[in-house]
Amino acid sequence: MGAEPFSQSQSQTQNHNHHFRHAPFVLGLQPSALVDNVATVDWSLLRQIPGERGGSVPVCIQELDNILREVKSNSLDAHSSMQTLAGGSVANTIRGLSSGFGISSGIIGAYGDDEQGQLFVSNMTFNGVDLSRLRKKKGYTAQCVCLVDDLGNRTMRPCLSNAVKVQAQELMKEDFKGSKWLVLRYAILNLEVIQAAIHLAKQEGLLVSLDLASFEMVRNFKLPLLKLLESGNIDLCFANEDEAAELLRGEQNADPVAAVEFLSKYCQWAVVTLGSNGCIAKHGKEIIRVPAIGETKATDATGAGDLFASGFLYGVIKGLSLEECCKVGACSGGSVIRSLGGEVTFENWQWMYKQMQIKGLSMPADVCMQMNIANN
C-alpha cells in the first residue's frame, strides 16, 4: 500500500482521513525519511573529510554536496560507485521485518517533495512497507553519506538540519490504532516527537522498542534517556557494546552483562549486541548469550544492529524463546553485513533462511512454502 505522489492539498486530506484498512502489526517512527549515499572509499579520501573517522558528525547541505562530489571524482572503478538507498535505522528495521520476515510494517514520518523523497517512497513501497502514515511536505528529504573503508568500518555524515520532519503535534491516535509494536530510535532532536508517539502508543496498548542510537547520543543526553527508561514505557531496549558502556559509565562494573541487568530493571526485554561476539539478552529471569553467525569480517557494518532488531522482533512477535530470538537476530544481522548498505539483498535473505533452517529456527510462512516447493 504505497503512497502515490500527491500535491500538498491532497496530502492534507489524505493525512486527516486516515482511512487505514489494516493497521500494520509493527510501526516505526522515523520523523525524517532519510536517503543513504553509500560508497567504498580509501583512507586518503577519508583524511580530506573533516571530523573523526568512524563517527557520525552532522554536516550542512553544502558540506554534504562537497563530500558527494569528492567521492564521485575519486571513484575510478565501477564497484566503488555510490549506492543510494532509503535509510535510517528505523526504516532499515521496518524494511527488514516486511521484506525478510513477512511481518506487516508501516512507518510514521515525513519526506520532502524532492528526488530523494521519491526514492525513499519507491524503495519502501517496493519492500512492502505501509506508507499511509508518511506525510509529504514541501522541502528537503534528509540525507546521509556513509563512507566505508576496506575494513568495513563506516564514517557517517548526516545532513538533517534543513530536512522536513513530522512534528509531535501532527501525530494522532489513529496513527497507532490497531498496531501492536512501535519501533523507535533515541535522538535528542526528536525527543518531543518520541515522547508524543510513546504517549499515544501506550493509550492504544502498543509495546515499545527503543534503540539507543549511538554512544555519543547516550553520553551527551543521558538524563532524558534515563527518564524514558524509568517511565516504564519502554518494553524492549537494544544497545550495542559502546552504548551499553556509556550507559553505565562511572559504575564499578560496566560490562555488557551489567548493562543487560540494568536495562532489564526497566524493560521486559533487554539486549546488548556485541558485534562479532554475538549478543547478550535478558527477559524475565532468563539471561542468554548467543554467538554471532556468518563471517566475522564485515564488508560493511551499516545496518547490522538495525537488522538484528528485525530478527529479534520477529522472534518476539512469533513467540519464540529468548535464545531463538537472539539466534534469528544473529542470522539477520549477519545477512546485512555481507554487502554494502543497510538493505539486505535477495541473495543475502536466501543465505539467512539457509542459516535459520540449519539452526531449526521458525521460518516466515511464505519462505517455508517456497522452500517446500523448491525441495519437492
Residue 144: CB atoms within 10 Å: 21
Rounded to an integer, what distance in angstroms lies between the CA atom of residue 215 and that of residue 161? 20
- Compute CA 348 distance to the chain's CA centroid, rounded to the nearest angstrom: 18
Helix runs in the chain, H state only: 8-17, 43-48, 61-74, 89-101, 115-126, 173-176, 191-203, 215-220, 222-230, 241-247, 256-264, 304-317, 322-336, 346-358, 365-375
5-14, 61-70, 212-221, 264-273: which has the highest mean pLDDT?
264-273
Burial readout 75-114 (b: 16 or more C-beta within 10 A, e: otherwise):
beeeeeebebbbbbbbbbbbbbbbbbbebbbbbbbbbbbb
**Mean pLDDT value of segment 38-45:** 85
Least confident of 36-40, 74-78, 101-105, 108-112: 74-78
Determine the pLDDT at residue 366.
81
3-class SS at 65? helix
pTM for this predicted structure: 0.89
Mean pLDDT of 108-120: 97
Give the whole-angstrom CA distance, residue 204 versus residue 208: 11
Taking Cα atoms as reference points, which of 76, 87, 83, 129 lies closest to residue 106? 129
- DSSP lists the bridge partners of residue 40 as 148
Instruction: State the cell numbers at 21.
Output: 484498512
* Phi, psi dihedral angles at 28 (to 5 degrees): -110, 135
The number of C-alpha atoms within 13 Å of 145 and in the hemisphere containing its C-beta is: 28
Q: 225 with 186: CB under 8 angstroms?
A: yes
CB 139 within 8 A of CB 112: yes
Per-residue model confidence (pLDDT) at position 2? 42
Residue-level pLDDT at 276:
85
Better-predicted residue by pLDDT, 57 or 182: 182
User: Could you read off the pLDDT of 349-371 as tens digits, one per residue?
Assistant: 999 999 999 999 999 988 777 76
pLDDT at 183: 98
- Rg of the chain (C-alpha set): 20
Return all residues near 369 (Cβ < 8 A) that are at least 6 apart: none
Q: Per the structure block, which three cell numbers stand in for 153?
A: 568500518
* In the predicted structure, residue 82 carries a pLDDT above the cut 90: no
Contacts of 11 (CB under 8 A, 6+ apart): 135, 136, 137
C-alpha cell at 204: 492504544
| 253, 271, 349, 363, 376 from 372: Cα distances, Å | 49, 33, 17, 12, 6
Q: d(Cα 23, Cα 178) in Å, to the nearest integer?
A: 5
Pairing of strands 83-87, 154-159: unpaired
Indicate the pairing of strand 279-283 with strand 269-273. Answer: antiparallel
Q: Give CA–CA dist 115/100, Å, rounded.
A: 26
284 sits in the region (left: phi over 0; alpha: psi -120 to 50; else beta) called left
Per-residue pLDDT tens over the stretch 206-265: 999 999 988 889 999 999 999 999 999 999 999 999 999 999 998 877 799 999 999 999
Mean pLDDT for the chain overall? 88
Cell numbers describing residue 368: 517455508
Joined grid coordinates for residue 264:
532489564
Mean pLDDT of 157-184: 95
Please name which of 326, 229, 341, 334 lies closest in space to residue 272, comparing C-alpha atoms: 326
CB 267 within 8 A of CB 316: no
Q: Identify which of 4-18, 68-82, 97-111, 144-158 has the greatest average pLDDT.
A: 97-111
Q: Which of 362, 366, 363, 356 is nearest to 334 (CA)?
A: 356
- Give the per-residue pLDDT at 13: 34
